[in-house]
Amino acid sequence: MDLNDTVLIREVIIYFRTDYKPRRNGIQMYVTNSTDVPSGDNCYNVTGGSDGSGIADVTRAPCSSMGRYILLYTTVTIDGDSQPILDFCEVEVDVCSGGTFGADCDNYCHCDGEVCNYVRGICPSGICVSGWGGSSCNNTCPMGEYGRRCSKRCTDRMCKDNTSSCNHATGECSDGCLAGYQTPDCTQGR
């Protein structure tokens, strides 16, 4: 299957023929950027009985890889067949959109200039956009901290009423600046 683009694949679902099960024995699944057979990341294998038993009519393959092509491959021949044959009706490929991760793609990461791993959410370079931290860059900075890697402190600003509350990304003081200092960062005098 040509997905027409290199994508992060989360799961592949195979819908097999239900009227002739022996041809679903010995399946290997590859995710690749090549049309060579077999090639790429062998992300899923399943075997069943010679009659196809043990392989469900709808098989869900957690195939966490990146590639353009999905290759379903078999080397198993069935009595009377001279070459391996694999019958299926449909293949569904589930991917997470960029910046999401997790089993249902419902978690968001905030990597700086790159897309996180869609399974674990880890940013390849480990660099989050300003105001976000954690290995998945999906945690806002703790109260009183802001900026890249949450390395700056709100108390270093000249916030009105000396509060330690500021925006987790920009450091802008929640209640404005002390008299004589300018927004947005309350560090420069007028």
pLDDT (tens digit per residue) in 122-161: 888 888 888 888 877 888 888 888 888 888 888 888 887 7
Are 13 and 86 in the same domain?
yes
Are 12 and 86 in the same domain?
yes
Inside any domain, residue 188 = yes
Inside any domain, residue 113 = no
Are 75 and 147 in the same domain?
no
Are 77 and 151 in the same domain?
no
pLDDT tens column, 38-87: 888 998 988 877 776 778 889 898 887 788 999 988 887 777 777 888 88
CB atoms within 10 A of CB 27: 22
Total domains, the chain: 2
Domain stop point among 67, 95, 123? 95
- Domain that includes residue 9, residue range: 2-95
